[in-house]
Each structure stands twice: as C-alpha cells, then as structure tokens.
C-alpha cells in the first residue's frame, strides 16, 4: 500500500528482455538501504526488488515487469535514461499525506494539455470512457504514482493542478502533450461503485 507522495526520482539504467518479461535496472538515491523482495512503486506501478548492486553514492537495483504489467501500463515504453517517480510502501503508524494507493495501475491515460498559470501548471488528461464513473470533482486520482486532486472531471477527460514543488520533484516537469501516463483510480470509489451497482442502484 502506498500514499501517492513521491519520495525521489529514479533513472532507468538498463532494460533487458527475458521471455515475455522485461527486467529494468534502476538507480535511485535512497537515504537508506533497500532489500530484495521489497515492494516499490515506479510511476505508480508496484514492482518487487529482485537484485541489488553495489554502486558508489547511490543504489542500483533490478525489478521485473511481467507481460500483464507491460500490457496495462506505460512501462513497455521505458528506455535507458528515463526518469521515474519512486515511492516505497507506507509504514504503519506513519502519516497518510496522500490517499490509499495500491500500486495496481488501472489503465494508461494521455496528456492532452499542459498550461502554465504563473507559478502552477494545469494538466489535462484523457482516459478510456469505461472508467468515468470512478472520477469525481475534488476526488483523488493517482497519475504516475502521484496522489492528486481532480479539479474537473468530464467524460473521458480530467484536469489537475500541479504546484511548483510537485512539478520540480517528480517527473511532471518532463511530461508534454501526447505522453502516456499510468492511472490508478481511488480504491474507495471502486468498492463503492461495485457495491451500488451490485444492488441495482446504478
């Protein structure tokens, strides 16, 4: 379980095909050691650390993305040099500054518009219409692992505002119109929707 509050930016150092899987080698300046079998969210997709390498001044490690993950996220587009948002799983007893994020990407969205607003940025995203019942104005959404508040939600589109800190300390500063992003919708909204639909309310 994650919160959608990004800790740091990692960089893809290597990409290796292994059957239908893809192994990514990632460098990230973690403040303390990580370990094999640890769950870490990369652009919002939960991946397990499979190997750790001894490198000066930073941590380098490998994760494996299976075919299912590559098909349902934008991880299949990752290349060496790409920067990705990284968050380790939440600790019991810690403050929950974002919202409940599972690290299970629902779908891939697309950046439609980026507009600077004198110190903040408006991002508009498009996404498959089949998910529109899971987004509401002022609700939560996770974009590339970042917990954000929906400013406006319409059929197949939504907008968010990005503050300077988030813009500078996540991969949002590198996003442009046409780029793909990982989307995870609020788990509470998903359960509520399923419950109401099962009772014939929807």
Kindly report, residue by residue over 148-166, the tens digit of the pLDDT. Answer: 999 999 889 999 999 999 9
d(CA 82, CA 33) in angstroms, rounded, equals 22
- Report d(CA 160, CA 175) in Å as an integer: 14
Judge: domain 107-198, CATH 3.30.420.480.
no
Q: Which two tokens stand for residue 107?
A: 């779908």
The mean pLDDT of 79-93, rounded to a whole number, is: 93
Looking at residue 91, its pLDDT comes to: 83
Q: What global pTM score does this model have? A: 0.90
Please compute the mean of the pLDDT values over residues 119-141 and round it to a whole number.
94
Four-way CATH pick for 8-88: 2.40.30.20, 1.10.10.10, 1.10.1740.110, 3.40.50.2020 = 2.40.30.20
Strands of the chain (E only): list them.
8-18, 21-28, 39-42, 45-55, 58-65, 83-88, 107-116, 121-126, 140-143, 146-149, 152-154, 157-162, 180-185
Write out the residue limits of the CATH 2.40.30.20 domain(s) in the chain. 8-88, 107-198
The pLDDT assigned to 179 comes to 98
In angstroms, rounded to a whole number, what is the distance separating the alpha carbons of residues 175 and 107? 17
Going by C-alpha positions, the residue among 131, 86, 89, 87 that lies closest to residue 108 is: 131
Tokens of 131: 């998910």
């Amino acid at each position: 379980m994650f919160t959608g509050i990004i800790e740091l930016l990692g960089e893809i150092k290597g990409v290796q095909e292994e059957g239908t899987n893809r192994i990514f080698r990632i460098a990230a300046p973690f403040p303390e050691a990580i370990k094999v079998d640890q769950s870490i969210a990369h652009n919002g997709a939960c991946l397990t650390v499979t190997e750790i390498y001894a490198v000066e001044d930073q941590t380098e490690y490998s994760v494996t993305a299976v075919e299912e993950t590559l098909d349902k996220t934008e991880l299949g587009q990752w290349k060496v040099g790409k920067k990705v948002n990284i968050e380790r799983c939440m600790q019991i007893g810690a403050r929950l500054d974002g919202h409940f994020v599972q690290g299970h990407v629902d779908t891939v969205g697309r950046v439609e518009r980026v507009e600077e607003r004198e110190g903040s940025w408006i991002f508009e995203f498009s996404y498959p219409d089949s998910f529109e019942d899971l987004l509401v104005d002022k609700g939560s959404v996770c974009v590339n692992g970042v917990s954000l508040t929906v400013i406006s939600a319409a059929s197949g589109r939504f907008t968010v505002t990005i503050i300077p800190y988030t813009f500078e300390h996540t991969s949002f500063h590198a996003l442009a119109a046409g780029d793909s992003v990982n989307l995870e919708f609020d788990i509470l909204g998903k359960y509520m929707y399923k419950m109401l639909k099962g009772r014939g309310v929807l």
